Amino acid sequence: MKQERIQVQKVNLLKMDQHDLNIFMKRYGIGFVLLGMFIVLSVASPRFLTVLNLSNVLTTVSINGLLAMGMVFVITAGGIDLSIGSMLALGSVTIGLIMNATGSIFLACAGSIIICALFGLVNGFLVAKFDMFPFVVTLASMLVIRGVSYVMSGGYSFALAKPEFAQIGLGKLFGAIPFPALIFVIITLMAFVLLQLTKFGRYVYAVGGNIKSATASGVNVLWTRIGTFVIMGICAGTAAIIMTARINAAQPNIGTGYEVDAIAACVIGGTSFSGGISTIPGTFIGVMIIGLIFNGMNLIGISSYWQIIMKGLLIIAAVMMDKFINRKN
């Protein structure tokens, strides 16, 4: 009797029933867009589907990818972080100063990650403790952090003492896998475990989904929210290492506008702006889609002005598709 009550249509695709399929489509439907882009680009350009080109794509998306992996935590918990572009600059300047003072690449990298994490902590504390709007708090800290990096560097770019450092941006593991791509993939895996398999991740979803219910369920809302901003800082500090290595100089003026692409990647990947809904694979797909727009259009020879327009249109398309798939009726 009980079993008959709920009639579930069996759809034998990947051994999923209708409901699993619905959930799957809801979360990863955007993957078909990526697949479509892959097919179109491989047909349009013979150079697209080569190991060299694809590892290039992974390298170019790595900075935005790292930022998006941090951003997805913040947005899922119901926040937003606009200060990450400035964090890239601050990280870069920190790397330069520490490296030139101590000669240690390790200390320089650690310094970048720590200082960005600290600013993330401050952002998170202001947002969570005083219940201020994350948009406003990080808008302000975007200015402060940018200013700090100018003060620290005296306003100028400067060269790095260790030329080997550039290898982080250029080098390849076993001569095949570029280091930035490797770092991006590792951070993605770590983000997946953290957000989707741990208690902390569950709390992030709960806080973003319904903060009052999370409080009434005994979730430590304060530290969960702060935690997401710290993770964002760590990701930004790591991205700053790759970026500095690739330009091979410490620069206080880099990173403007990088928050836009990171947020775009999250949204295209199905992250809900009101919090509580997101996946790491979805975000990864979002990052790749943005990367392919640039790479693919370059290959086909479309001007970069059009690429920007495409990116904007794609965000709208992604959100519309999300509404279409998740139609609540």
Binding site for other proteins (CB under 8 A): 2, 5-9, 17-20, 22-23, 193, 197-200, 202-203, 205-206, 209-210, 212-220, 272, 276-277, 328-329
Least distance to other proteins, CB of residue 212, Å: 5
For other proteins, the closer CB: 165 or 203: 203
CB closer to other proteins, 131 vs 304: 131
Return d(Cα 124, Cα 81) in angstroms, integer: 10
Residue 180 sits at the vertex; the CA angle it makes with 27 and 116, to the nearest 5 degrees, is 85
C-alpha distance across the termini of the chain, in Å: 27
| Nearest distance in Å: CB 215, other proteins | 6
Choice between 202 and 311, CB closer to other proteins: 202
Q: Please say which residue, 19 or 47, places its beta carbon nearer to other proteins.
A: 19
Give me the phi and psi of 6, to 5 degrees please. -105, 110
Alpha-carbon distance of 69 to 187, in angstroms, equals: 8
CA pair distance 40, 169, nearest whole angstrom: 30
Query: Could you say which DSSP state residue 11 is in?
Result: E
Tokens of 291: 């990367």
**Dihedral pair phi/psi, residue 79, rounded to 5°:** -115, -165
Is the CB of 111 or the CB of 276 nearer to other proteins?
276
CB of 83 to other proteins, least distance (A): 28
Cβ–Cβ under 8 Å, residues 84 and 258: yes
Shortest Cβ 231–other proteins spacing (Å): 14
In the complex, minimum distance from the CB of residue 6 to other proteins, in angstroms, rounded to a whole number = 6
3-state SS, residue 256: coil
Taking the complex as a whole, the smallest distance from the CB of residue 194 to other proteins amounts, in Å, to 9
Q: List Cα–Cα distances, 149 to 145, 155, 229, in angstroms.
A: 6, 8, 20
* Minimum distance, C-beta of residue 78 to other proteins, in the bound complex (Å): 11
Shortest distance, position 205 Cβ to other proteins, whole Å = 6
Q: Which is nearer to other proteins, 26 or 246 (CB)?
A: 26
Choose between 119 and 203: whose C-beta lies nearer to other proteins.
Answer: 203
Residue with tokens 């572009």: 85
Rg (C-alpha) for the chain, rounded Å, is: 21
The structure tokens listed for 1 are 């009797």
Of the candidates 38, 2, 41, 8, the one whose C-alpha atom is nearest the C-alpha of residue 23 is 8
* Least distance from other proteins to the Cβ atom of residue 9, Å: 5
Nearer Cβ to other proteins, position 255 or 276?
A: 276
- Tell me the C-alpha distance between 241 and 115, whole Å: 12
Contacts of 254 (CB under 8 A, 6+ apart): 88, 89, 92, 243, 247
> Toward other proteins, which CB reaches closer, 167 or 198?
198
